[in-house]
Amino acid sequence: MALLICIETATEVCSVAISEDAKLLALQEVEDAFAHSAKLTLFIKDCAALANIALTDLAAIAISSGPGSYTALRVGISTAKGLCYALGIPLIEVNTLQALAMATAKQVQTPDAVYCPMIDARRMEVYTALFDASGNSLTATQPLIIENNSFEHYFNLEQTIVFSGNGAAKCQSVLNSPFAQFEHMKCSAAHLIDLAFGNFQDRNFVDVAYFEPLYGKLPNITTPKNKLNT
């Protein structure tokens, strides 16, 4: 038996789950881009109470590693590393897009479809990759500006692509192929559980000291317009 805590902060969703092996025991989450720093540790405490465990019972911490929001990912990884150091337990990396693709495939139940999770990267750009129904990667993760001819190769082959994630809705009017299917599926710590447990069984851990999430982009930092030149 392995008790794992999963942390998802790659997008506007702040989410924490506790699992026993691959079974969900507790879940706390909120969809609020400004809630991560205020809610994350509270959700961890609440999940432990709901699961009736102590944090010292945990076997490992799993973190959604991006791509996604720079600030939100920093909050998640800092909290995860702090718990790992305090409890002396390993850290597990779970790719955000892979977890989202597998959750979408589980919901849709279309084994011959290609799954395309999308994380919003502002305007018409998304972070994305393609996966099969089992979560195997078909393309590398990349930032992509969505245009009318995006995924044209697959659509010409009459290949169904299932789009999901917080970047998918804005692309629906552009990707108007009959082979484009859109599913409402947000990021959640619950989606990390299967991959996290598989990595735990394989002892596939990352170095707590040196691990960094996949930000995708550095934060867009600008100088305030009313700042005087000195």
DSSP 32-59: -TT-HHHHHHHHHHHHHHHHT--GGG--
- Which DSSP helix (H) or strand (E) runs through 162? strand 161-164
148 and 192 housed in the same domain? no
Contact 215, 75 (CB under 8 A): no
Q: What's CA 41's distance to the chain center, in Å?
A: 18
Q: What is the CATH number of the domain that holds 85?
A: 3.30.420.40
Domain count, the chain: 2
Range of the domain at 53: 3-95+187-201
Domain-located, residue 20: yes
Stretch 116-141: mean pLDDT, rounded?
96
Q: Residue 156 contacts by C-beta under 8 Å, 6 or more apart in sequence?
A: none
* Spatial CA neighbour of 161 closest among 139, 140, 184, 177: 177
Percent with pLDDT over 90 in the chain: 89
- 3-state DSSP: the chain helix, strand, coil percent, rounded to 5? 30, 25, 45
Residue with more model confidence, 221 or 148: 148
89 and 107 housed in the same domain? no
For 196, list phi and psi in degrees, rounded to 5.
-65, -45
pLDDT in tens, 29-48: 999 989 999 999 999 999 99
- The pLDDT assigned to 221 comes to 44
User: 1 pLDDT band (50/70/90 cuts)?
Assistant: confident
Domain-located, residue 216: no
pLDDT in tens, 170-229: 999 999 999 999 999 999 999 999 999 999 999 999 999 999 998 876 555 444 445 444
Domain-located, residue 109: yes
Domain-located, residue 224: no
* Spatial CA neighbour of 66 closest among 95, 30, 99: 95
Percent with pLDDT over 70 in the chain: 94
- The pLDDT assigned to 122 comes to 87
Strands 125-128 and 142-145 come out as antiparallel
**Helix, strand or coil, per DSSP, at residue 140:** coil
Task: Burial-class residue 142 by CB neighbours within 10 Å (0-12, 13-18, 19+).
Answer: exposed
83 and 137 housed in the same domain? no
Q: What's CA 126's distance to the chain center, in Å?
A: 13
pLDDT in tens, 83-106: 999 999 999 999 999 999 999 999
90 and 111 housed in the same domain? no
67 and 175 housed in the same domain? no
178 and 193 housed in the same domain? no
32 and 88 housed in the same domain? yes
Domain-located, residue 12: yes
- The pLDDT assigned to 227 comes to 44
Q: Where are the alpha helices (DSSP H) in 52-164?
A: 70-87, 96-108, 152-156
